[in-house]
A and B are shown apart, each in its own frame.
Chain A
Amino acid sequence: VNPAAEGTVYPAVRFEVGEAAVASFRTVFGQADGVPPTFATVAEFLAFPQAIGDPALDLDFTRVLHASQEYLHHRPMREGEVLSATVRIESARVRAGNGFVTLVTEITDEEGLPVCTARASLVERGTA
Chain B
Amino acid sequence: VSLRTLEEVAEGDELPERRRVVTREDVRAYAEASGDRNPLHQDDDVARAAGFDGIIAHGMFTMGHLAACVVAWAGAPEAVVRLSAQFRAPVSMGQEIVAGGTVRHVDTAAREVTLDVWVRADRDGGTEWPIKRGEALVHLD
Contacts and interface: CB of A to CB of B under 8 A. Distances in A.
Interface of A: 21, 24-25, 27-38, 41-42, 45-46, 61-62, 65-73, 76
Contact of A36 (B71, B86, B87): B71
16 contacts: A24-B29, A27-B29, A28-B30, A28-B64, A32-B1, A37-B77, A38-B64, A41-B60, A41-B64, A45-B36, A61-B38, A67-B87, A68-B85, A69-B59, A72-B82, A76-B77
Given A31-B77, A35-B77, A38-B63, A68 B70 contact: no
Interface of B: 1, 26, 29-30, 32-36, 38, 50, 58-61, 63-65, 67-68, 70-71, 76-78, 80-87
A24 B32 CA distance: 9
B34 A41 contact: yes
B68 to A, nearest CB: 4
Contacts of B84: 68-71
A70 B32 contact: no
Given A46-B35, A69-B84, A73-B80, A36 B59 contact: no
A45 B68 CA distance: 21
Contacts of A65: 87
A72 B81 contact: yes
Contact of A41 (B36, B50, B65, B68): B36
A31 B85 contact: no
Given A25-B33, A34-B76, A36-B77, A69 B63 contact: yes
